Amino acid sequence: MYEKLTEAKLAETLEAGIHEFAERGVEKASMASIAGKAGISVGVLYKYYSDKDSFFLACVRRSVGRLEEALKEVLVREDKVSGYADQVIRILQRHAAEHRDDIRMYHEITSIRNSRFAAELAEEIEKITAGLYTDIIRKAQKNGTVREDMDPGIAAFFFDNLLMMLQFGLCCDYYRERWKLYCGGKLPENDMVREQLLMFLESAFTFSREDVSHEGGK
């Protein structure tokens, strides 16, 4: 009879896994190291998860569940797109501060080439934000607060890419150094980042083609 883990111990084990995958990536992560950090035997870990792949996916789902829960407060709001964007940016800044390893693990996932997980992970991780951001833009187009000539899905994709880079800049060493390079050697404060990003988004979403001045008046 193997040791039965409590819910708290299972949660601790998943957190140990998230940290290991964030540090070493999927291929180099060690189930023995994860078990050791969680204070359980590797045999018990394999009783709950048949292999590293299934355990990795469980860690991803725990991380995605946290993000989904955090974004729920946006789903109940009715606001202009700028109000939605402000709320999303605030939530993601807070989420990155509280769950740095989640973001670092996600970064490791995006760097895997020809991953056997690619389609499954894209569906698991991106479907929440893809639907949310597309709906926000589509509603804003209907009420006339953003330009109507954008494709909502493509605009949402670009918006999400900006937010992804924001989170990587808060949590991943390379992106933090890259951010410093652009900002005079130090990371800007969250309030300043949020303000500047909202200004950028306001221009992107509200200018129509005829409103943009080009060289030579063309």
pLDDT digits (tens, 9 = 90+) for 157-201: 999 999 999 999 999 999 999 999 999 999 999 999 999 999 999
pLDDT of residue 46: 94
State CA 179 to chain mean position distance: 17
Is a pLDDT exceeding 70 seen at residue 210? no
Structure tokens at 173: 């060493």
Tens digits of residue pLDDT in 91-131: 999 999 999 999 999 988 887 654 667 777 888 888 888 99
Q: What are the φ/ψ torsions at residue 217 (nearest 5 degrees)? A: 75, 15
Closest Cα partner for 130 from 196, 204, 64? 64
State CA 158 to chain mean position distance: 14
pLDDT of residue 95: 96
Alpha carbon distance 164, 107 (integer Å): 9
Structural domains for the chain: 59-207 (1.10.357.10)
Ranges of H-type helices in 29-151:
31-38, 42-48, 52-75, 81-98, 100-110, 118-142
DSSP codes of every residue in 183-203: TTTSPPPHHHHHHHHHHHHHH
Closest Cα partner for 11 from 43, 52, 39, 33? 39
